[in-house]
Amino acid sequence: MGKKNGFWRLSVAVAAALVWASVDVRAETTIYPAPQGEAVEGAYVVKVDGKPLDIYSAQDQEEGSGEYYFTSFDFDGKVKIEISAPFSLAAATVAPERFGVKVVEQTAETTILEADKPFQISFEPNKRIKPLLIFGNAPEIDAPKPGDANVVYFGPGVHRPGKIELTDGQTLYLAGGAVVQGAVLARGKNIVVRGRGILAGEESPRFNGPGRFMLDCVDCENLTVRDITFRNPWSWTFVLWNCDGATIDGVKICGSRMINDDALDLVNSSNIIVKNCFFRTQDDSIAVKGMIAGGPACENIAVEDCVFWTDRANIFRVGYECECEGMRAICAKNIDILYYSVNYRDPSEYWANALIWLQPNQKMTMEDCRFENFSVRADGGDIIALMAKPMSCSYGAFENPTPGRLTNCSFVNFNVWGEKGDFNGMIFVKGASETSDVDGLRFENIVYFGEKIGKDAACVRIEGFAENIEFAEKTE
């Protein structure tokens, strides 16, 4: 009996130790030292499980700011992140909440966070002013090696290759710790762009980089872009131009140094998946465009599980340039909006800003679009929540085109929270004519600061040539 009891006590002790280990086990972490001259000093000091992380800066034009910061690492398990700074962190916040990153200790000098799954967060001692973006990535799998066939490889260090051109079956790999000052032109099938490195543009003046855009993907099929970070673009950041089939996963964009730095432009492209991305720019986060005369439709586009931040434009801008057969089956779900434009403009203004702006142009039909599960953090400023407005949008050779038509779109589970202030969040619906109308919009579970928004709410404006606009009490 004694031996049995002793064995039982030993078993309990072992089991308890195993349970404790399973609860408190620390992650395997991988950090990537910055190249010489790239790490920022005198701002934030960050350690992950005791390992120091190098901090990079990105440029912005926010008053009182001029720059913000970002850092990244890989992990598997549970990590503790210690942040300190030469300014007070007593009121610092972490967003978005959905990643489950917990503040476990906070003083004026130090904040300690814990995370147990990949995340993309903004750590903010003073709202938009000099935040720290932290990207905790899952471990990298099957990374290419220098000299691998069909791989254009950039290892740690600063590189200035000018324009990098990719074609069928090639992989561009930016290793962790690589900063590549250049542009990429991808044209062909089965091209991959990946890695933990940075594609940077601050050495190029506005509209005058080594390529049209930082990553310019033209006539691509079965394209994959994942995990890389873009910094300080000189124009549109990442563009798909007449592409069919693309997966964009885990991409981070640290922009906002100038206007016209759209994060992702989808031009006459179809069968696109965008997921797990973090975009901060001054201009549009996602813009769907038709710019190729007689070009194919923009269709079957899914944007999922992403975090967006624009300083002066729109989160989603669908339309404006509409030189295509149609725009349809464009869906976005599980979207966190950290910040929206600081410039409120009335819906009557040509360059108004909105969270979602649907503006079919050039007699084009926009249809079957769905926007679902949006979390919008209000900062006290106002913004148009939705503009559903066929328009005559002039660009290029089109001086006075005929507006298009919008039909069969839905907006489901929108939650606005945070600082109410002047936030009104107008939902504006207006057709242009009997043939350029808005028909069949459904709104379900639209909630502003805990209050359901119905068709009779003060923030809802439905004007001419708009029919079958429905507000439902509950989601299906």
Q: How far apart are CA 10 and CA 23, in angstroms?
A: 20
246 within 8 A of 270, measured Cβ to Cβ:
no
Spatial contact of 22 and 42, defined as CB atoms under 8 Å apart: no
pLDDT at site 16: 34
Alpha-carbon distance of 163 to 231, in angstroms, equals: 16
Give the whole-angstrom CA distance, residue 442 versus residue 370.
9
Measure the CA–CA gap between 68 and 453, rounded to whole angstroms: 36
Each residue's pLDDT, cut to its tens digit, for the chain (476 residues) gives: 443 343 333 333 333 333 333 344 567 999 999 999 999 999 999 999 999 999 999 999 877 788 999 999 999 999 999 999 999 999 999 999 999 999 999 999 999 999 999 999 999 999 999 999 999 999 999 999 999 999 999 999 999 999 999 999 999 999 999 999 999 999 999 999 999 999 999 999 999 999 999 999 999 999 999 999 999 999 999 999 999 999 999 999 999 999 999 999 999 999 999 999 999 999 999 999 999 988 999 999 999 999 999 999 999 999 999 999 999 999 999 999 999 999 999 999 999 999 999 999 999 999 999 999 999 999 999 999 999 999 999 887 788 899 999 999 999 999 999 999 999 999 999 999 999 999 999 999 999 999 999 999 999 999 999 999 999 965 44
CA–CA gap between residue 93 and residue 366 (Å, rounded)? 39
| Of 274, 301, 278, 295, the residue nearest 364 (C-alpha) | 295
Give the pLDDT of residue 23.
Answer: 40
What is the C-alpha separation between 157 and 145, in angstroms, rounded?
16
Domain with CATH 2.60.350.10 in the chain: 28-137
Architecture category of domain 236-472 in CATH:
3 Solenoid (2.160)
CATH of domain 28-137: 2.60.350.10
**Which tens digit of pLDDT belongs to each residue from 352-407?**
999 999 999 999 999 999 999 999 999 999 999 999 999 999 887 788 899 999 99
CA atoms within 13 A on the CB side of 321: 17
Characterize the bridge pairing of strands 28-30 and 67-76: antiparallel
- 23 token code pair: 């609860």
3-state SS class at 29? strand
CA gap 237, 251 in Å, rounded = 12
Do 354 and 435 touch, CB atoms closer than 8 A? Answer: no
What pLDDT was estimated at residue 231?
A: 98
Q: How many CB atoms lie within 10 A of CB 40?
A: 15
Give CA angle at 231 (115, 196), nearest 5°. Answer: 50
Q: How far from the centroid of its chain's Cα atoms is residue 238's Cα?
A: 12
Contacting residues for 3 by C-beta, under 8 A, at least 6 apart: none
Give the C-alpha separation, 7 to 463, whole Å. 79
Domain with CATH 2.160.20.10 in the chain: 236-472
- What residue type is 383 in one-letter code? I
Are 299 and 330 a contacting pair, CB within 8 Å?
yes
Question: How far is Cα 136 from Cα 70, in angstroms, rounded to an integer?
Answer: 11
